[in-house]
Amino acid sequence: MTLQFTRIDFRYNRQTSVFTGLSLTLDHPATVLLGPNGAGKSTLMALAATDVQPQRGQVRWRGNRPSNRRTRAAYVRAVAWLPQDVVAIPGLTVREQVAYAGWLKGMSRASAWQASTDALGRVDLTDLAGRPSNKLSGGQRRRMGLAGALTHRSEIVLMDEPTAGLDPTQRKVFRRLLENLRNDVQVVVSTHQTEDLADSYSQVVVLDQGTVRFQGTTAEFHNLAGDHVAGSRERAEAAYARLVHGEA
């Protein structure tokens, strides 16, 4: 299964160009998109999620294009986006908000309600199903958002900085969820954090100033650090610094 960006041009205004002719193919079970702030990571995720549209070029998932009227519905059903800030809907319980996410993707109310039970179980929120969604912690809200994506059986889940601002315990829980998801759905995560790459992801893409500086396996990424650096976290940091900052 492949997410393709072909010759993408995107700018927020005439002065600010984010991408010029960007082409990128993501076809691994779990891809991490690394880059500094302003590199274009969130914009790329928003393009894939159809939250914004390119001025030029195409986005495709398994051949379906959101810009094509005949294939847009199939694309939208397959692609789920989990933004960094999952907003709780006032008045809805956790299960109701998860079911609502499925309904928005075209499921019937009954089917979405039934599927929400399994989705909550997969993110370990069953015990909180009846709690008001605005009473969850930040980490719990992100898991609720992930459950919403699982409710409508998305094929690829895009996550923008899913562990930012979480404490170490919450980050560990979320990373474990990501590792379990890889057997069922394709995962693309944008982040500036380089720890635990080898355990969580099979592919690394480094984006800087709207340009792909590197794309390869996690092993190939770590090898950029050189033989003198020991430890997976240290190797990831060194490889990242070499690509983005030009450090030898």
Residue 111 inside a domain? The answer is no
CATH number of domain containing 70: 3.40.50.300
Contact 129, 95 (CB under 8 A): yes
Strand order in the sheet with 30-34: 79-82, 156-160, 186-191, 30-34, 203-208, 211-217
CA distance 138 to 6: 35
Residue 81 inside a domain? The answer is yes
With cut-offs at 50, 70 and 90, classify the pLDDT of residue 248.
low
Summarize pLDDT for 124-171 with one digit per residue, the tens. Answer: 999 999 999 999 998 899 999 999 989 988 899 999 888 877 888 888
CA distance 29 to 203: 8
Summarize pLDDT for 177-204 with one digit per residue, the tens. Answer: 888 887 789 999 998 878 767 678 899 9
Residue 39 inside a domain? The answer is yes
Closest CA to 233 of 205, 207, 198: 198
Q: What pLDDT, on the 0 to 100 scale, is given for residue 196? A: 65
Range(s) of the domain holding residue 53: 3-87+156-244
The larger pLDDT score, comparing residue 7 to residue 63, is at 7
CA distance 248 to 246: 6
With cut-offs at 50, 70 and 90, classify the pLDDT of residue 228.
confident
CA distance 61 to 48: 9
- Reading the block at residue 234, the tokens are 């240290």
Residue 106 inside a domain? The answer is no
Summarize pLDDT for 29-84 with one digit per residue, the tens. Answer: 999 999 988 899 999 999 999 999 999 999 999 989 999 999 998 999 899 998 88
Residue 114 inside a domain? The answer is no
Name the residue type at position 170: Q
Looking at the structure of the chain, the number of domains it has is 1
Torsion of CA 83, 67, 61, 221, to 10 degrees: -60
CA distance 147 to 102: 10
Q: What pLDDT, on the 0 to 100 scale, is given for residue 95? A: 97
Contact 112, 103 (CB under 8 A): yes
Residue 124 inside a domain? The answer is no
